[in-house]
Amino acid sequence: MAIYEVYSHPALLRYKTSICTKATLFLIIVLCLTYISPLLVAYRSQGFWTKLSTYEEQPSITFQYQVLLIAATSTSGDYVAWSTFQNFNNLQGSNLRIPSISAREEDRNQDGKFDQLNLRLSLPLRQSESVYSVQLILTFSYKLFRMSTFIMQSMAYIQHSSSVPGSQLFVSGDLKLQQRQPLKHRGLDTTYNVSVINGNSPFASAYDLTNIIGSYQERNVSTVLSNPSPVWVLGRAAGAPFEINAVIRYPVEIITYPLLCLSINTISCLLRSHADLF
Ligand SMILES: *[C@@H]1O[C@H](CO)[C@@H](O)[C@H](O)[C@H]1NC(C)=O
Ligand SMILES: *[C@@H]1O[C@H](CO)[C@@H](O)[C@H](O)[C@H]1NC(C)=O
C-alpha cells in the first residue's frame, strides 16, 4: 500500500533545568572559550597577519682582545702598524710599532652583562713622526639568548683621518646590531661564529682592510660602531705617544625575528573551529 504525507509540523522541544547544574557550567565555559580565547590569542600575538615580530634583549658582548691598528705617519704613505696576530706583525718589518694597551669592560648595572668597553691605546712615535690617520679594528664575541641562541664574532671599525697631525683620537659610540634578515625564533645559530680576521693566515691578503671589511659587510647580521663622534685632538708634544681613547657601549637591541607561519595557521584553524561551534 502506498504511503503519503497528510500533514507535517516542526516540533520544538525545550529542555529546562535549574540554574545551578553542570549543564549551565558547561554552557558558560563554552561561551567563554568562544569569545575570550581568540581575543587573548589576538592580543598576545599582536595580530594574525604580521610575519615579523621584535623583542628586546641586551646582548652578551665581550671584547676578544683582538686588535689591528694601522696609523699613517706622513702624508706620503709612511705608516706604522700592529696587531694581536703574530702573522700580521711578521709581515710588517720595520713598520711594526708596538703600542701599550689597556682595556676594561664594565658591567654598570650589575646584571652579569658588560655594558661598555673602555680602551686606551698609546702608540710610541719617533721625533720625526706625526699621525695623520688611524684605522683600528676591534673584535667582539656577540651572543643573544632570549629567542634563538645566536652566537657570532663581530667587529667595530674605527677610522679617522685629518690633514693636520693629531695627538689623540677620542671616539665614543654604540656597538649596534645590523640585521639584513630576521633571526631564527629558536634553536642555535652559529652561521657567523667565524673570525673576522683569519689570524692563522701567513698571507698579507688576509689582513688587507679592504678584504676584511668587504667580506664582513657581506654578512646578513653584523655589528657596526654607530655614532662614533670622533674627536681629533691636535698639538702633540715632541716625543709624546699618540693616544687612542675609545668608549664602546653595548646597548639593548631590538631584534627582529619571524613569526612562524605554522603557528599562525594553527591559530586561525582554532578560531574557525570555535566559530563553527555556534
Ligand atoms: C664559536 O667559535 C669559537 C671560536 O672559534 C668556539 O670556541 C666556540 O665553540 C664556537 N661556538 C659555537 C657554539 O659553535
Ligand atoms: C642573506 O640574506 C639574503 C636575503 O635575505 C639571503 O638570500 C641569503 O641566503 C642570506 N645569506 C645567508 C648566509 O644566510
The CA distance from 166 to 233, in Å, is 5
Contacts of 55 (CB under 8 A, 6+ apart): 146, 147, 254, 255, 257
Of all protein residues, whose CA lies closest to atom 12 belonging to ligand 1?
A: 190
Query: What is the whole-number distance in angstroms between the Cα of residue 182 and the centre of ligand 1?
Result: 22
CB of 219 within 8 A of CB of 190?
Answer: no
The finding on whether 151 has its CB within 6 A of some atom of ligand 1 is yes
Query: What is the whole-number distance in angstroms between the Cα of residue 89 and the centre of ligand 2?
Result: 34
Q: What is the pTM of this model?
A: 0.78
The finding on whether 193 has its CB within 6 A of some atom of ligand 1 is yes
CB of 248 within 8 A of CB of 104?
Answer: no
Query: What is the whole-number distance in angstroms between the Cα of residue 158 and the centre of ligand 2?
Result: 26
The CA distance from 48 to 207, in Å, is 48
The finding on whether 247 has its CB within 6 A of some atom of ligand 1 is no
CB of 189 within 8 A of CB of 255?
Answer: no
Cβ < 6 A, ligand 2 pocket:
180-181, 191, 220
Ligand 2 atom nearest 220 alpha carbon: 1
Query: What is the whole-number distance in angstroms between the Cα of residue 220 and the centre of ligand 2?
Result: 6
pLDDT at 161: 94
C-alpha distances out from residue 90 to 1, 53, 64, 97, Å: 113, 48, 21, 12
pLDDT at 134: 96
Residue from 235, 240, 234, 245 nearest 126 by CA:
240
**Tens digits of pLDDT across the chain (278 residues):** 788 888 999 999 988 878 888 888 998 999 888 888 888 877 776 666 667 888 999 999 999 999 999 999 998 989 999 999 999 999 999 999 999 999 999 999 999 999 999 999 999 999 889 999 999 999 999 999 998 999 999 999 999 999 999 999 999 999 999 999 999 888 999 999 999 999 999 999 999 999 999 999 999 999 999 989 899 999 888 889 999 999 999 999 999 998 765 455 555 655 665 555 54
CA angle 162-224-114, nearest 5°?
Answer: 110
Shortest-distance ligand to the CA of residue 256:
2
Query: What is the whole-number distance in angstroms between the Cα of residue 175 and the centre of ligand 2?
Result: 22
